[in-house]
């Protein structure tokens, strides 16, 4: 039998009908590149024109109209959350999965997007609430916070614009919400449980009971969830609103009573400030959960759940420009 040259054999093989068998699935779309949890202005400047990058601006609407990073889209917490009214009133709750998916698509986010969130002025905890929401939606590995926000960008004399980008709707696959939102029952069951740390992220005056939060028409209970630890939200970022170094954060959490490997469950007034503390805990490798209803839910809907005031907590400085008490 005459042996065909190698090149001719290849052509014959390619022309031959395929062997019987199940049809092949189309190749999967390449996974979006993972993001660091925090990026610096130089990183964002280098990637600003990447086609898969979505930049979200968190801040005052008038400030956005005056100046923002080119291409950034303004996002408000009402764009990604819901509030309940009447006897069930709670502020700033995570929307149902399909609702949240459409809200994120309206911001231009797609399944292959990488996302950078930044804050203008001192809106740190609203920005970390956006980051938390994206993490809950399954997009956390592709979402980063700009360290120091717009002020850090401006300190490096990087350009801004007053031109809003054209509207763009993204395309997201159905969301698989990650189990990082806790309810009151979960919090109650976790108090004092090995491997869990329930942390009050409000200003220390609320933790100690020297100040009392409130909803629109009624006060919250005074004090904190019995057994909760205290890591105020405004202590994990420095005076320029940059995330503190890991060693500093680790020491702060350890002093509060958090052990390595603990799952950190955070709460505040309504579920905003705690996301700044949880962002820092996530940076240290902790599994984190947010009690979304926070002290508002604990106070108004669970009057039999324990609350105590503790004079041991020294009043903190309190960042009055970045609070979430309604």
DSSP 180-223: -EE-HHHHHHHTT-TTEEEEE-S-HHHHHTSS--B-SSSBPPSS
Supply 311's token pair.
């004079």
What residues does 315 pair with on adjacent strands?
A: none
| Residue of 238 and 216 predicted with greater confidence | 238
Question: Span 301-326, mean pLDDT?
Answer: 63
Q: Does position 45 have pLDDT exceeding 80, yes or no?
A: yes
Separation in Å, CA 75 to CA 161, 193, 305:
17, 37, 35
Q: For position 12, what pLDDT does the model report?
A: 33
Q: Could you tell me which residues come within 8 angstroms of residue 133 by beta carbon, excluding any fewer than 6 positions away?
A: 80, 81, 94, 100
- The tokens for 305 are 């759940």
Q: Is the dihedral of CA 227, 236, 293, 260 positive or negative?
A: negative
Mean per-residue pLDDT over the chain, rounded: 87
Share of the chain above pLDDT 90, in %: 78
Q: Is residue 26 predicted with pLDDT exceeding 80?
A: no
- Per-residue pLDDT at 201 exceeds 70: yes
pTM of the shown model: 0.86
Strand partners, 181: 290
| Gap between the Cα atoms of 80 and 126, Å rounded | 11
Read off the pLDDT of residues 70-109 as tens digits, 9 standing for 90 and up: 999 999 999 999 986 655 678 889 999 999 999 999 999 9
Question: What's the confidence (pLDDT) of residue 214?
Answer: 82
Instruction: State the pLDDT confidence band at 7, using cuts at 50, 70 and 90.
Output: very low
Q: Is 275 a residue whose pLDDT tops 70?
A: yes
Tens-digit pLDDT profile for residues 244-271? 999 999 999 999 999 999 999 999 999 9
CB-based contact 116:99 (threshold 8 Å): no
């Amino acid at each position: 039998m005459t042996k065909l040259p190698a090149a001719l054999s290849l052509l014959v093989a390619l022309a031959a009908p395929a062997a019987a068998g199940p049809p092949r699935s189309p190749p999967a779309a390449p996974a979006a590149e993972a993001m660091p949890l925090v990026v610096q202005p130089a990183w964002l400047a280098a990637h600003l024109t990447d086609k898969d990058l979505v930049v979200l601006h968190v801040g005052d609407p008038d400030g956005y109209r005056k100046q923002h990073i080119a291409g950034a889209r303004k996002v408000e917490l009402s764009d990604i959350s819901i509030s309940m009214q009447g006897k069930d009133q709670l502020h700033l709750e995570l929307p149902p999965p399909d609702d949240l998916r459409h809200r994120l698509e309206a911001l231009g986010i797609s399944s292959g997007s990488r996302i950078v969130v930044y804050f203008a002025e001192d809106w740190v905890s609203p920005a970390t609430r956006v980051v938390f929401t994206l993490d809950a939606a399954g997009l956390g590995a592709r979402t980063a916070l700009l360290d120091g926000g717009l002020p850090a960008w401006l300190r490096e004399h990087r350009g801004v614009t007053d031109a809003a980008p054209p509207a763009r709707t993204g395309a997201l696959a159905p969301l698989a919400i990650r189990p990082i939102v806790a309810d009151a029952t979960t919090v109650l069951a976790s108090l004092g449980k090995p491997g869990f740390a329930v942390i009050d992220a409000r200003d220390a005056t609320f933790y100690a009971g020297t100040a009392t939060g409130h909803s629109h028409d009624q006060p919250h209970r005074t004090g904190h969830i019995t057994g909760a630890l205290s890591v105020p939200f405004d202590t994990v970022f420095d005076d320029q609103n940059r995330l503190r170094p890991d060693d500093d954060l680790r020491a702060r959490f350890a002093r509060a009573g958090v052990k390595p490997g603990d799952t950190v469950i955070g709460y505040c007034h309504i579920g905003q400030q705690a996301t700044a503390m949880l962002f820092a805990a996530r940076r240290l490798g902790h599994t984190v959960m947010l009690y979304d209803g926070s002290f508002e839910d604990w106070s108004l809907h669970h009057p039999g759940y324990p609350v105590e005031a503790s004079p041991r907590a020294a009043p903190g400085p309190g960042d009055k420009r970045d609070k979430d008490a309604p």
